[in-house]
């Protein structure tokens, strides 16, 4: 998502008008989001397995924090997928560029939040027991 948020979307916004940009972004997401679903399932499964192996609710605080952040990130992605992304697809197909742009703006904001949460989770993982 970092690439799409920080490189692809801004470049597309500079070079393409909405009738070209929005179908491009929807097409990119339609190929990328199935991989995100797989990643979410693998990451959440590994988090639960880690919790079980480390004593369940007795696991260290950083394990609980990472799992909680992962749950929030998963919820945000599910919301993106079922609401603004679905809207982006509908509005792009209908050539309603203004509404598609609104959906894309929502996706951008939520992806930005998830990027921050992901970086936070990386810091929690690196700091581990020092927390």
Domain ranges of the chain: 24-130
- pLDDT at residue 118 in the model: 97
The pLDDT, as a whole number, for residue 96 is: 99
**Per-residue pLDDT at 28:** 97
Can you list the residues of the chain whose pLDDT is less than 70? none
For residue 9, give the nearest of 86, 115, 82, 83 by alpha carbon.
115
pLDDT in the model for residue 35? 97
Q: For residue 108, which of 74, 75, 82, 85 has the smallest C-alpha distance?
A: 85
HSE, CB side, 13 Å, CA atoms: give it for residue 69: 19
The predicted pLDDT at position 112 comes to 97
- pLDDT of 77 reads 98
Residue 51: name the closest of 36, 41, 37, 64 by CA. 64
């Amino acid at each position: 998502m970092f690439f799409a948020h920080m490189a692809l979307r801004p470049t597309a916004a500079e070079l393409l008008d909405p009738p070209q940009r929005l179908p491009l972004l929807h097409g990119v997401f339609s190929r990328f989001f199935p991989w995100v679903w797989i990643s979410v399932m693998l990451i959440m499964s590994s988090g639960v397995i880690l919790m079980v192996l480390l004593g369940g609710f007795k696991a260290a605080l950083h394990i609980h924090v990472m799992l909680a952040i992962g749950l929030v990130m998963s919820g945000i992605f599910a919301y993106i997928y079922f609401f603004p992304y679905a809207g982006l697809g509908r509005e792009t197909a209908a050539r309603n560029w203004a509404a598609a742009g609104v959906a894309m703006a929502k996706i951008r904001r939520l992806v930005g939040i998830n990027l921050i949460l992901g970086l936070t989770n990386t810091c929690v993982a690196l700091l581990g027991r020092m927390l």
